[in-house]
Structure 1
Amino acid sequence: MLFVILIGGGIGYAFGGFPGFLIGAIAGVGLVRWAKWKIQKRLRAVQSGFMESVFAVMGAVCKADGVVTDDEIRVAEGLFEKFRLNAEQRQTAKAAFNRGKSDDFDLDAALAEFMRVSGGQSGLLQMFLQVQVAAVAADGEVHPAEHEMLVRVARGLGLSEQQVEQLEALLRGGAASGGGPSREKQLEDAYKVLGVSSDVSDDELKRAYRKLMSENHPDKLAGRGMPESMREMAEEKTQEISHAYDLIKSAREQGATNA
């Protein structure tokens, strides 16, 4: 801010001496305030569009197998709690969910509108997709029809099927903390979470890990328009990315020791 004020003052001084300096400095203050207002207005628009689009698309995704079950409705309502929505926001989310599961819902148009509002920012798009994956995977399994719908959503957001599989693997990793998949399956999923093959070098593995951690940092996502109520989910994702990286490192170190 100070830099802009000084620049404005300097330009004013060049044309009108000290009075010009004052006018230029005042103009600089006005410019900074206008820029902040524009940024805040855009963030509010992204945050509002994010939450409404999330639940509308969720309604369509949950109906992918032909019917929205009571379990899926409970999952959606559970997200109201997780995202700490107030009464008004819950009503908006419910209306969006019901709109999304209706037969005449235009999924492609809804995804295109969110792409426009979000500016196509990768971190926000992946977080949007993560919520959809979490909704259909709440029963511990993603059915083929649901997977295909998730792929359709991903492509509508300019993302790939691999990124859907990354998120599915990430959620399996979170569930695995209580037991379940074998260590071999957990390791396979860990590589999927980081988006790399099992034969990458240690340096390539570290670069992939750092890139994902940077892209998914909660503060960075919040600054780009992610609602603050979704910070917990963003933090959980970075924890799972770290867990996947640690699991792979541990397996590689153990393999080197036994070699």
Structure 2
Amino acid sequence: MWGKILGALFGLALLKLPGLVLGIVLGHFFDQWFKRRLGHWEGLQGVFGQDDEQALFMYTSFAAMGHIAKATGVVTKAHIAQASHFMQQLGLNKQQQKEAQAAFRDGKAVNFPFQAQITEFYQRYKQRPDVLQLFLEIQLSIACVAGQVAPEQWQLVKQVAQCLHISPAALEQLLQAYQAQSRFQQGQAKGADDAAAVVSAYQVLGIKNDVSEQELKRAYRKLMSQHHPDKLMAQGVPAAMLDVAKRRTQDIQAAYELIKQHRAKNR
């Protein structure tokens, strides 16, 4: 209702009677969009039992995933499987998955206000850079579902980073670290040779293989601090999303231990 009222007032002030009609029409569409969005938001808040801040995190995460997945025009089976797998990894029950899927569908809509949603998220979490980075890593997980990022999806990921005030260099480093993490996980599962695993381990930590022991420890501690579940929970990350951080810390720990073993063996 307020959309129509405000639209009518602005339209009348700017364009007289034609503006009044146009303002009412545009206000109507705004009211309908806001009603749908509010319904999903309240649903997420009720289902997850969270405050509005954590509901914002959950809604924005899944809606952005849906928007990025649809960037090429078609949401592939791989993207749907990745989103479903992600929900299962978070331990969401059936009702929670239903609400997350609703947010994902919102994001796929052509008229979804992607930039406005990300900007609103940034305004809420702008004083918590570790949370912003975790959110960006979540979006990378849907963009990199096939190992490579489609140009259209990469443009949206860059837009997310820009809205979150994360530099292009930092985004590129996150992408390389995420892809290295995927290779590292696959290598561990398949029992890949030691040399390839060590290369991926260094990339997971975002460092070169000739760094000093002090630099190695510094990089490791920084990443562990950024992804520490207790720290992120205190900063407003929903409990369900902490599994993402836990898996990341496990990979960081495993990569660090492998590098230390490799260095000790080659002294």
TM-score range, shorter chain: 0.7 to 0.9
State the alpha-carbon separation in 2 of the partners of residues 99 and 180 from structure 1: 40
1:149, 1:180 → 2: CA distance?
A: 35
Shift of 1:147: 4.1
Quickly say closer, same or farther: Cα 1:217–1:107, change in 2 above 3 A.
same
Q: Deviations over 1:23-54 (max 9, x none)?
A: xxxxxxxxxxxxxxxxxxxx823211110000
Q: Find 2:176's aligned residue among 157, 165, 180.
A: 165
Out of 252, 255, 260, the position equivalent to 1:244 is 255
Tell me: CA distance 1:156–1:197, structure 2 relative to 1, closer, same or farther (3 Å): farther
Match of 1:18 in 2: none
Distance 1:191 1:89, change over 3 A: same
Determine if contact 2:69/2:143 at 8 Å carries over to the other structure: yes
- How far the C-alpha of 1:68 sits from its partner, in A, is 0.4
Aligned to 1:215: 226
Counterpart for residue 81 of structure 2: 74
Partner of 1:195: helix, strand, or coil? coil
> Secondary structure, in 3 states, of the residue corresponding to 1:158?
coil
The structure with the larger Rg is 1
Return 5+ residue gaps in structure 2 as ranges. 1-49
Q: TM-score, normalised by structure 1?
A: 0.73
Shift in alpha-carbon separation, 1:202–1:97, aligned structure 2, 3 A: same
Structure 1 position 187 matched with structure 2 position 193: no
Query: Does the C-alpha gap of structure 1 residues 120 and 233 become closer, same or farther in structure 2, counting only changes over 3 Å?
Result: same
Query: Paired residue for 1:156, among 163, 167, 170?
Result: 163
Matched residue SS, 1:200: coil
**One-letter identity of the residue aligned with 1:153:** V
1:151–1:164 CA contact under 8 A, matched in 2: no
Match of 2:216 among 191, 195, 205: 205
Task: Tell me the TM-score normalised to structure 2 length.
Answer: 0.71
Matched residue, 2:246: 235
Tell me the residue number matched to 2:61: 54
CA–CA separation in structure 2 for the residues paired with 1:191 and 1:230 = 26
- 1:126 counterpart = 2:133: yes
Structure 1 residues 148 and 176, CA, compared in 2 at 3 Å: closer, same or farther? Answer: farther
Say which of 127, 137, 142 aligns to 2:148: 142
CA distance in 2, matches of 1:147, 1:181: 29
Q: Runs of 5+ in structure 1 lacking a partner?
A: 1-42
Instruction: Name the CA distance, whole Å, in 2 between partners of 1:86 and 1:165.
Output: 32
Q: Secondary structure at the match of 2:72?
A: coil
Distance 2:194 2:124 in 1: 41
243-252 vs 181-190, greater mean Cα deviation = 181-190
CA offsets, 1:61-80, max 9 Å, x none? 11233310123123222333
CA contact (8 A) 2:188 2:197 kept: no
Tell me the CA shift for residue 89 of structure 1: 3.5
Q: CA RMSD in A?
A: 2.3
Q: What is the identity, as a one-letter code, of the residue corresponding to 1:89?
A: Q
- Are positions 1:116 and 2:123 aligned together? yes
Amino acid at match of 1:142: Q
Aligned partner letter, 1:96: A
Who is 1:7 aligned against? none
Number of aligned residue pairs? 213
Identity %: 37
The answer to whether the aligner puts 1:99 opposite 2:101 as a matched pair is no
- Whole-Å separation in 1 of the counterparts to 2:176 and 2:157: 10
Matches of 1:149 and 1:191, distance apart in 2: 28
Structure 2 CA distance for aligned equivalents of residues 126 and 137 of structure 1:
16
Partner of 2:96: 89
Contact 1:52/1:93 (<8 A) preserved = yes
2:266 match: secondary structure: helix
